[in-house]
Amino acid sequence: MAAARTMTRLLVPLLVAAVGATPARADRSTPPTSAIVDSTAQGGRTVSFTFDDGPDPQNTPRLLKLLRQQQIRAVFCLTGDNVLASPGLVRWIVAEGHLLCNHSTHHDDLSTWTPEAIRADLLETNAAIRAAVPWARIPYFRAPFGAWGRTPAVAASLGMQPLGWRLAISDWEPPGTEVLVDRLMNGITEGAVVLMHDGGGDRTQTIEAVGEVTPRLRADGWRLTVPARRG
């Protein structure tokens, strides 16, 4: 009996600590707000990788293989048009355990749109995603071009947390893998959400840079995680 009581005294605080530290729990139970989140929930030496404008038939499979190899869980911000073109890639992204982000239907600048028009567009994107993956969770929304306008409140009303970023590495240029590596190594700050792309062009350099940077970050004590659900 004494041993059992000792075990209970030891285990309960451990269990409480473990549950409190599980980000997936916060993802599921925390309602979104209209605050634009640009950080992880944990802070400290944590960073979150997010990939926009896919899925893309050339880049996304290569990126998914790299993320699996390096055991990185990331966020994919998808456009409805690309989802309709490559529904199988959406299923693959979800099967790998990554998180989905609505990035509008046609990658329009939504900054001047009415809430009603925004809502229709965001619902169209979600419908495309759920045609590929029924009941898919879509915890985030990111406005194309960072042109938020009235989108944050609409996204929150549809259950999606607006997702910004603290670091964008201009990988759309593209400037060369080593330049991207330098931009990541010099630009990443504690808790930062990082914006990169797996769509919109050849993203070989982005994928290579992620492959180089991740082991270096981990060697320096950094942990890769997902963004917070509120600001």
Question: Where do contacts with Zn ion occur on this chain (CB under 5 A)?
Answer: 52-53, 144
The whole-angstrom separation of Cα 80 and Cα 127 is 8
* Rounded-to-integer distance, Cα 51 and Cα 115, Å: 26
52, 53, 56, 121: the active-site residue = 52
Which residue's CB atom is positioned nearest to Zn ion? Answer: 52
Residue 88, φ and ψ in degrees, nearest 5: -65, -35
Residue with Cβ nearer Zn ion (46 or 103): 103
Longest Cα–Cα distance in the chain = 68
Q: Is 52 known to be catalytic?
A: yes
Smallest gap from residue 120 Cβ to Zn ion (A): 19
Estimate the crossing angle of helix 59-69 against helix 87-95, to 10 degrees: 10
Nearer to Zn ion, 38 or 53 (CB): 53
- Shortest gap between Cβ of 24 and Zn ion (angstroms)? 26
Minimum distance between the CB of residue 148 and Zn ion, rounded to whole angstroms?
A: 13
Closest among 51, 136, 124, 28 to 90, alpha carbons compared: 136
Asked about 106 being catalytic, the answer comes back as no
Shortest spacing between CB 107 and Zn ion, in angstroms: 6
If one counts every other C-beta atom within 10 angstroms of the C-beta of residue 28, the result is 11
Instruction: Output 23 or 227, the one with its CB closest to Zn ion.
Output: 227
Nearer to Zn ion, 144 or 227 (CB): 144
Tokens found for residue 56: 């893309």
Report, as residue numbers or ranges, the catalytic residues. 52, 197
